Chain A
Amino acid sequence: MAPELPGVQFEPLAGSVAAWRAAVDAQQWLRAGEDIADRGGRLAALWASDDTDRGAGLCVRALLVSFEGLICLELRMPERDASFPDLSQSFPCADRMQRAVHDLCGARALTPDGDAADPRPWLRHGAWPEDIFPLRRNVAASARWPAQPDAYRFVTVEGDGVHEIPVGPVHAGTIEPGHFRFSVVGERVLRLEERLGYTHKGIEKRFEQMSLADAIRLAGRVSGDSTVAYAWAYAMALESISGAQVSERALRLRALLLERERIANHLGDLGYLGNDAGLAFGLAQFSRLKEDVLRLNARLFGHRYLMDRIVPGGVALDVDPAAIAVLLDEADRIEREVRALRAIYDDHAGLQDRFMTCGRLAPDTAVRLGVVGLAARACGIALDARAHPGYAPYTELQPKVITERAGDVAARVNVRFEELFESLRLERRILRHLPAGERVAPLAVAPEGGFGFGWVEGWRGEVFVALEAGAAGTVRRCHPHDPSWQNWPALEHAILGNIVPDFPLINKSFNLSYAGQDL
Chain B
Amino acid sequence: MIDLAGVAAQFTELMLAILLAPLLTGWVNQCRAWLQNRSAPGLLQPYRTLNKLFQKEVVLAHGASPLFRIAPYLIFGSLALAAAIVPTLDIDLPLNAAADAIALVGLLALARLFVSLAGMDIGTAFGSLGARREMMVGFLAEPALLMVLFTASLISGSTSLSTIVHTLAHKEFVIYPSMAFAGVAFTMVSLAENARIPIDNPATHLELTMIHEAMVLEYSGRHLAMIEWAASLKLFVYSCMGLALFFPFGIAESGDWLGIVLALPALLLKLAVGGAALALIEMLSAKMRIFRAPEFLGSAFLFAVLAMLVHVLLES
Q: Is A326 an interface residue (CB 8 A)?
A: no
User: A interface, by DSSP: helix, strand, loop or mixed?
Assistant: helix
Q: Is A499 an interface residue (CB 8 A)?
A: yes
Once the chains bind, are B208 and A503 in contact (CB under 8 Å)?
A: yes
- Tell me the bound Cα distance from A325 to B193 in angstroms: 53
The contact of A351 among B37, B204, B217, B286, by CB within 8 Å, is: B286
Interface flags for A332-360 (1: CB within 8 Å of B; 0: not) read 00000000000000001011011000000
- Tell me the bound Cα distance from A167 to B206 in angstroms: 11
Q: Is B36 an interface residue (CB 8 A)?
A: yes
CB contacts (< 8 Å) of B290 on chain A: these are 187, 499, 501
The contact of B206 among A187, A351, A499, A504, by CB within 8 Å, is: A504
Q: Is A173 an interface residue (CB 8 A)?
A: yes
CB distance from B132 to the nearest CB of A (A): 8
CB distance from B247 to the nearest CB of A (A): 28
CB contacts (< 8 Å) of B36 on chain A: these are 280-281, 283-284
Q: Is B125 an interface residue (CB 8 A)?
A: yes
Interface flags for B193-230 (1: CB within 8 Å of A; 0: not) read 00001100101111111000000010000000000000
- Tell me the bound Cα distance from A279 to B203 in angstroms: 11
- Tell me the bound Cα distance from A288 to B38 in angstroms: 10
Residue in B126, B197, B286, B287 with the greatest tally of chain A CB atoms within 10 Å: B286
CB distance from B288 to the nearest CB of A (A): 7
Once the chains bind, are B288 and A281 in contact (CB under 8 Å)?
A: no
Query: Which chain A residue shows the least CB distance to B288?
Result: A350
The contact of B208 among A288, A351, A500, by CB within 8 Å, is: A500
Once the chains bind, are A501 and B286 in contact (CB under 8 Å)?
A: no
CB distance from B131 to the nearest CB of A (A): 13
CB contacts (< 8 Å) of B286 on chain A: these are 274, 277-279, 348, 350-351, 353-354
- Tell me the bound Cα distance from A173 to B32 in angstroms: 21
Query: Which chain A residue shows the least CB distance to B36?
Result: A284
CB contacts (< 8 Å) of A169 on chain B: these are none
User: B interface, by DSSP: helix, strand, loop or mixed?
Assistant: loop
CB distance from B284 to the nearest CB of A (A): 8
- Tell me the bound Cα distance from A163 to B123 in angstroms: 13
Once the chains bind, are B289 and A502 in contact (CB under 8 Å)?
A: yes
Q: Is B173 an interface residue (CB 8 A)?
A: no
Interface flags for A260-279 (1: CB within 8 Å of B; 0: not) read 00000000000000101111
Q: Is B60 an interface residue (CB 8 A)?
A: no
Q: Is A165 an interface residue (CB 8 A)?
A: yes
Q: Is B252 an interface residue (CB 8 A)?
A: no
CB contacts (< 8 Å) of A492 on chain B: these are none
- Tell me the bound Cα distance from A348 to B290 in angstroms: 18
Contact A278/B205 with A166-B125, A284-B38, A288-B37 known, Cβ cut-off 8 Å: no
The contact of A350 among B129, B205, B209, B285, by CB within 8 Å, is: B285
- Tell me the bound Cα distance from A447 to B114 in angstroms: 72
CB distance from A32 to the nearest CB of B (A): 42
Once the chains bind, are B291 and A171 in contact (CB under 8 Å)?
A: no
- Tell me the bound Cα distance from A353 to B295 in angstroms: 14
**Range of interface residues on A (Cβ < 8 Å):** 20 to 34
Once the chains bind, are A277 and B287 in contact (CB under 8 Å)?
A: yes
Query: Which chain B residue shows the least CB distance to A281?
Result: B36
Once the chains bind, are B208 and A167 in contact (CB under 8 Å)?
A: yes
Q: Is B184 an interface residue (CB 8 A)?
A: no
- Tell me the bound Cα distance from A445 to B35 in angstroms: 59
CB distance from B177 to the nearest CB of A (A): 28
The contact of A281 among B35, B198, B203, by CB within 8 Å, is: B35
CB contacts (< 8 Å) of B291 on chain A: these are 187, 499
Q: Is A66 an interface residue (CB 8 A)?
A: no
Q: Is B283 an interface residue (CB 8 A)?
A: yes
Q: Is A438 an interface residue (CB 8 A)?
A: no
Give chain A interface residues in 129-178, CB to chain B under 8 Å. 163-167, 171-173
The contact of A284 among B37, B126, B208, B209, by CB within 8 Å, is: B37
Query: Which chain A residue shows the least CB distance to B217?
Result: A172
5 additional A-B pairs beyond A280-B283, A501-B290, beta carbons within 8 Å, are A172-B205, A187-B290, A276-B209, A278-B201, A281-B35
Closest 5 CB pairs of A and B: A278-B287, A173-B205, A350-B286, A504-B206, A284-B36
A residues near B (Cβ < 8 Å) are 163-167, 171-173, 187, 274, 276-281, 283-285, 288, 348, 350-351, 353-354, 499-504
Q: List 27 A-B contacts (CB under 8 A).
A: A166-B125, A167-B207, A167-B208, A171-B207, A172-B205, A172-B207, A173-B206, A187-B290, A274-B286, A278-B198, A278-B286, A278-B288, A279-B286, A281-B283, A284-B37, A284-B38, A285-B37, A350-B285, A351-B286, A353-B289, A354-B286, A354-B288, A500-B129, A501-B209, A502-B289, A503-B208, A504-B206
